Amino acid sequence: MAGKRRFSILGDSISTFEGCNPTGFRVFYEGERCAATGVREARDTWWAQVVDALGGELLANGSFSGSMVEGAGFPAGDSAERVAALARDGQAPDAVLVFMGINDYGWGGADAQAAGRGNALPACLDVDALGEQREPGLAASDAVERFGAAYGSMLARLRTAYPQAEVWCCTLCPGRVVGRDGSTFAYRLRGVPFDAYNDAIRAAARAHGCRVADVRALGRDYEALDGTHPTARGMRQFAGLMLRAMEAADNAAGSALGGSSALGVVALPGVAALRAAAHDAPPSAERCSEPSCIGCPHAASTGGKWLLVCERGI
């Protein structure tokens, strides 16, 4: 009898949990933050729920809080160390779930992260040589192009290290501040449209033979403590959206090949509830047409402690 498929996770703070990430990796979901979000156990995370629904088991979670895809070296997603962290005890993953890019959008590029002294700077950088610390402003004109190149390079590393693994790239999804009835997401934080980053993810995935779990295409928000980090309810919502997006992609691939879905969603008691959680996620709505959030009185924060929150109409 075949064993369970081994899944590894490559992400940022949203995908961390205390005790589940490699030693030395920064973790968001620990201590008081677990209490504040209600994400109290690993099984409450989006990735644990998705892996369970697919009848798999976690091999390794190589997520690092605050990390970007782009960067000069570790802990950027496009680094050998991050890819190596997806294996464990000599075992390679059968599948990798990639959910990264929100920090690239938030900072507007690796140079801005370095200038602003972000909390996940590449270890190879000489901080003293970076000059005076500066608050981030508008993103550079080539920010998305550089993000797409870094995302593609990251996928190339993954494909080389784990050629037999199925790699799923998840598009970025808007968060909504807990307790708010309407959308709170900042769609042009630094002047570059949020969905330009999702277009870059889709293009990189296609170019490197990876699959896309297009959560953004479902047009839903997940509940978040601060507009980015999911609450326990938000984790369920996002897991449900992820499962729906993977099933949609798998069904489309099966139809194109004249076959049937082979994703392997299992008939576990929690799967129906997970699908229902996707419907609990409220519809997304872009509430503002301003070219950027910089200098806008409705922006919660655009500096080094940025928040992806627009308070217009709240």
Predicted local confidence at residue 273, as pLDDT: 84
**Confidence band (pLDDT; 50, 70, 90) for 266?**
low
Q: How far apart are CA 262 and CA 282, in angstroms?
A: 29
Of 257 and 110, the structure prediction assigns the larger pLDDT to 110
CA dihedral 212, 213, 216, 217 (to 10 degrees): 80
Q: Is 169's pLDDT higher than 80? A: yes
Which residues are 58's β-sheet partners? 7
pLDDT tens-digit profile of 277-298?
999 999 999 989 899 999 999 9
Listed residue (171, 230, 173) closest to 198, CA to CA: 171
Predicted local confidence at residue 269, as pLDDT: 60
Output b/e per residue, 155-186; b: 16+ Cβ within 10 A: bebbbebbeebebbbbbbbbbbbbebeebbbb
Q: Is 130's pLDDT higher than 90? A: no
**Confidence band (pLDDT; 50, 70, 90) for 141?**
very high
User: Which residue stretches of the chain are H helix?
Assistant: 32-37, 46-53, 80-84, 102-107, 110-115, 143-161, 194-207, 232-256, 269-280
Mean pLDDT of 72-88: 98
Q: Where are the domains of the chain?
A: 6-174+193-281
Predicted local confidence at residue 206, as pLDDT: 97
Q: Is 131's pLDDT higher than 70? A: yes
Check if the beta carbon of residue 135 is closer than 8 Å to that of residue 261: no
Joined together, the tokens standing for residue 127 give 């901080």
**What rounded mean pLDDT belongs to the chain?**
93
Predicted local confidence at residue 263, as pLDDT: 61
Q: How far apart are CA 127 and CA 153, in angstroms?
A: 25
Q: How far apart are CA 97 and CA 211, in angstroms?
A: 10
Predicted local confidence at residue 256, as pLDDT: 44
pLDDT tens-digit profile of 154-168?
999 999 999 999 999
The CATH label, of 3.30.2130.30, 3.40.50.1110, 3.40.718.10, 1.10.3720.10, for the domain at 6-174+193-281 is 3.40.50.1110
Sheet holding 95-99, edge to edge: 57-61, 6-11, 95-99, 166-170, 211-213
pLDDT tens-digit profile of 227-263?
999 999 999 999 999 999 998 998 887 644 344 445 6
Q: Exposed, middle or buried: residue 24 (CB in 10 Å: 0-12, 13-18, 19+)?
A: exposed
Predicted local confidence at residue 250, as pLDDT: 87
Predicted local confidence at residue 255, as pLDDT: 46
Q: How far apart are CA 104 and CA 47, in angstroms?
A: 21
Check if the beta carbon of residue 101 is closer than 8 Å to that of residue 201: yes
Q: Give residues with Cβ within 8 angstroms of 200, minimum separation 6.
A: 144, 145, 147, 148, 151
